[in-house]
Amino acid sequence: MTTQRIKEGDSVLPGERLGVIEEYLPGEGTFQDEDDVIYASITGIVHIDMKERKISVEATTRTPVYPKRNDVVLGEIQHVTKKSAIVNIFQIEDTPCPVTFSGYLFIKNTAGGYVEQMRDLFAPGDLIIARVQQQADGLARLSTVGTRFGVIKASCSRCGEPLHLQGRRLECTECGNYEQRKLAKNYGKLSKAEPVEEEPPIEEGI
Amino acid sequence: MSGKNTEVEQPLIDAKGLRTDGRKLDELRPIRLEVGNLSRADGSAYIEHGRNKIVAAVYGPRELHPRHLAQSDQALLRVNYRMATFSVSDRKRPAPSRREHEISMVLRQALEPMLFLKMYPRAAIDVFIQVLEADGGSRCASATVAALALADAGIPMRGLVAGCASGKIDGKIAMDMNDIEDKIGEADVPVVMCPERGEITLLQMDGKLTQKELAKILQMSEDGIHRIHEMQKAVLLEKYAQIRKEIGEVPEEEAEVLAAQKPEIEKDEAEKPKATKKRTKPVKAEKKEDETKPAKKEKKTKKKTESESS
């Protein structure tokens, strides 16, 4: 186990010592222990980024899907409070998740400006595209700042019918109701992913 | 596992100091490992440890059903240890026995500290361990193979665990007990540990030992676990070197070097004459009856597991 120094391109296994925290930042596929030693957590190939002084392991096995920083995710608003929303993430990048993951969207990270209340921008049941800001304690912190991000599908809060884009707001063709959302650029079109109408794994209650 | 003893009394260690299967006291049974042998599982592995033949399959992290079991801050690890009806000499009844439930639990506890379950909240990671043929020490072999299957599934781990059950036979401490030694020997101590970290995640004891003997057994198991761990590493490296060779990432020579490492280890533990069926000591017969023994155990580690031996 304590062999020579780990080099770029080495094959490592879980639990293998990679270095100490003074040498590198622990990147993906690694973990830092209480003793400030960095170990590999997966089977793979070592990459050392000397610019950022970061050591990571690229998996040679299959990798379980879960939201990582900077992933673009597709989710459903589950719950809206005054300042935040809980999102069920069911697609990460282009991969449907075998499980839904929880995401947290704080009001500050919604539109890039001042927003009075979360319910001005989102309602439960909306499908949104968001970016993962960070993953902490199993909760992905999301952001919808940017034209690409926001609601891509919403239904009328009065009658439940799908809302249609009418100028810059959403109109319900059934009951004539108008609603406001933080809209993604391509509202109504589920981006590149073809199987658009894919239902999220049914998720009820908190 | 038939707890039945035959008539002829025969020592477990012969005049030359060899055991019933021809091993020395500090020798492991022959071990063969395979990784990724099941195509439909997310990760899988197979072990032949002496006459133990065990398959492990890992699924997940995946959606957890039933939902109410989900933990909002971490994944749920479910380990299912099952013995095939044909795995022992008397047909095992197909319903999960008390012993299987117990081993499932202790294996879960042995694997849990190695995983980063917090990375996958509300998910489930399922580990299915199917014993096709049982010899002594099947829970240890199961831990070894389950760790490999988890690594194959790409689930982040603190390290690989491996298991080895040493014990006391005919008054002497012996490594890696087989079925007969397990049944009529004096004591049996299954240990599962992560050799790189020196952490014991499963420790059980069946029989009576002095503190000194226990310490010696632990030492011996650790030694055996280190050897098994080397085999685990070799087989994982070999598999992925093979894949990388196929996609042209690794020069062929390097892959061959890696591939050569494994058979070497196997040769080391080369086939020994098989155990003879007619040996026994009737004395401890009742003590070793399969499912009825009361547990005796000592806890030395953070992972404590109440239970009986196999």
Q: Confirm or reject contact between A14 and chain B (CB < 8 A).
A: yes
Same domain (yes/no): A127, A163? yes
Residue B304 has pLDDT above 50, yes or no: no
Q: Confirm or reject contact between A40 and chain B (CB < 8 A).
A: no
Residue B275 has pLDDT above 70, yes or no: no
> Which residues touch A166 (CB under 8 Å, ≥6 apart)?
A178
CA B278 – CA B295 distance, rounded (Å):
28
Domain that holds residue A16: 11-59
Residue A195: pLDDT band (50, 70, 90) is very low
CA atoms within 13 A on the CB side of A158: 11
pLDDT tens track for A14-28: 999 999 999 999 998
Please check whether residue A42 lies inside any domain of the structure. Answer: yes
CA distance B161 to chain A (A): 10
Please check whether residue B88 lies inside any domain of the structure. Answer: yes
Please check whether residue B27 lies inside any domain of the structure. Answer: yes
Residue environment code for A33-55, b if the CB has 16+ CB neighbours within 10 A, otherwise e:
eeeeebbbbbbbbbbbeeeeeeb
B contact set with A (CB within 8 A): 42-43, 60-64, 72-74, 116, 118-124, 151-160, 194-197, 233, 236-237, 240-241, 243-244
Q: Confirm or reject contact between A137 and chain B (CB < 8 A).
A: yes
| pLDDT at site A66 | 75
Residue B75 has pLDDT above 80, yes or no: yes
Q: Confirm or reject contact between A37 and chain B (CB < 8 A).
A: no
Cβ distance of A61 and B64 shorter than 8 Å: no
Residues B140 and B163: beta-carbon distance below 8 Å: yes
**Mean pLDDT of the region B271-286:** 43
Same domain (yes/no): A80, A174? yes
Give the CATH number, domain containing residue A125: 2.40.50.140
Give the CATH number, domain containing residue A44: 2.40.50.100
Cβ distance of B119 and A138 shorter than 8 Å: yes
Q: Which of B96, B201, B113 is nearest to B157 (CA)?
A: B113
Residues A83 and A106: beta-carbon distance below 8 Å: yes
pLDDT top residue among A15 and B281:
A15
Please check whether residue B17 lies inside any domain of the structure. Answer: no
CA A24 – CA A10 distance, rounded (Å):
16
pLDDT tens track for A118-167: 888 899 988 999 999 887 666 788 998 888 888 888 888 888 888 888 88
Mutation test of the interface with chain A: which of B120, B230, B261, choosing the one with the most A Cβ atoms within 10 A?
B120
| pLDDT at site B188 | 94
Domain that holds residue B130: 23-248
**Mean pLDDT of the region B93-102:** 96
CA distance B150 to chain A (A): 10
Residue B108 has pLDDT above 60, yes or no: yes
pLDDT top residue among B2 and B55:
B55
Cβ distance of B121 and A42 shorter than 8 Å: no
Q: Which residue of A has its CA nearest to B147?
A: A14
Residue B18: pLDDT band (50, 70, 90) is very high
Please check whether residue B139 lies inside any domain of the structure. Answer: yes
pLDDT tens track for A90-105: 888 888 876 677 889 9
Residue A194 has pLDDT above 50, yes or no: no
pLDDT tens track for B177-203: 999 999 989 999 999 999 999 999 999
CA distance A176 to chain B (A): 38
